[in-house]
Amino acid sequence: MTDSNRIVLSSDHTAIALRQAVAAHVAAQGWTVVDIGPTTPESTPYPEHGAAAARRVASGDCRFGVILCGTGQGIMMAANKVRGVRCGVCSDAFSARMIRQHNDANMLAIGARVVGEGLALDIVDAFLAAPFDGGRHAPRVEMIRALEA
């Protein structure tokens, strides 16, 4: 994983407004935002957007990714198909913190139809602030990586 402060954001059409709010929020914290869209409300397929963001994280171009769709579930499933990505969908800050601390997650998925803007920003903050604990969790993350082979 890169040590950069670059973060990729993407969504489907249902989550454009929330994605843009997240982008502004993390940019204000000093992150370099790579927003790969979409920008128009026409229906778009969440698998394409999840995979495109995941490829940016897996390649090392971006340290983290935040992806959004209606529930967060579908876009998370697509992102997790990209080798090297560990993405969890979260609707609370505790879970977002735990996927970083225990699973070394490098991507976060949020459901725009599940959480409001204030909670979404809290979730993103918890995710970005939490370090990977390593220790007893490291062998488990290695087990997850081994499943990709």
Residue 8 has pLDDT above 60, yes or no: yes
pTM of the entire structure?
0.96
Buried residues in 41-69 as b, exposed as e (16+ CB within 10 A): eeebebbebbbbbbbbbbeeebbbbbbbb
* DSSP 3-state of 71: coil
Catalytic residue ranges: 69, 102
Residue 2 has pLDDT above 90, yes or no: no
Q: Using N-to-C axis directions, what is the helix angle for 117-129 and 93-101, rounded to 10°?
A: 20
The phi, psi pair for 83, rounded to 5°, reads -55, 130
